[in-house]
Amino acid sequence: MNVLPALGTFLDPLALAIVGGGVAAGAVLRTASGDLVRGVAALAVLPRRRFDAEPLIGQVAALTRIARRHGVIALDRSKIEDPDIAAAVAAIVDGAGPRDVETLLEQRRCTRFERHRGAWELWSGAAELAPAMGMVGTLLGLVGMFAAMKDPQAIGGAMAVALLATLYGALLANLVLLPIATRLKRRARHEAQERLRLQPGLAALAAVEPGIGSLKEIAA
């Protein structure tokens, strides 16, 4: 004998609307529009591989060889897709020194991390809202139940809303919203640590003397 209720028993559109709508409204009201857009767009990066700085380190090494052979001015013609490396190389071509490049990269790294923080805080904030919205649904269901004490058929529906709203809030927070926030936070920290590996190579690139490689070839 199956003692478990049917799956349809756990589906209640009103409870879903109260919890889901409340969480969505609360997240919109408490989040800046830019962070809201970034938080939703960040869902697209979850299936992707985490950021790896190793190919970029190789690219910086190649740029260093070019600069030693032809001078840093030759880097102006290089095709660079990574925004941090592109900004650093542009600064180096303009005459920035190693300390200036390190400061620039640190500023960009911190700015990027703050953008990522806004994205994961959207989802962690929504995870905080979900149980509260579940409790709101429970209270609304109890009010409806007490208001319909003379109608036995209405009591069951109101009680279902009261119980399922709490269930939906707990499940939404712990199985959906909080895992999303945690994964985005881990990815942001990982990328920040990986990008830190780019600083020594780019600082060394800024220390290359313009045209020193070409001068050695001429002297030889």
pLDDT single digits (tens) 179-212: 999 999 999 999 999 999 999 999 999 998 655 4
Average pLDDT over residues 145-163: 82
Name, in order, each residue with C-beta under 8 angstroms of 73's C-beta and a sequence gap of 6 or more: 93, 210, 211
77 near 90, Cβ under 8 Å?
A: no
* % of the chain at pLDDT higher than 90: 73
Dist. CA 99–CA 186, nearest whole Å: 29
Per-residue pLDDT tens for 51-63? Answer: 999 999 999 999 9
What's the pTM value of the predicted model, to 2 decimals?
Answer: 0.84
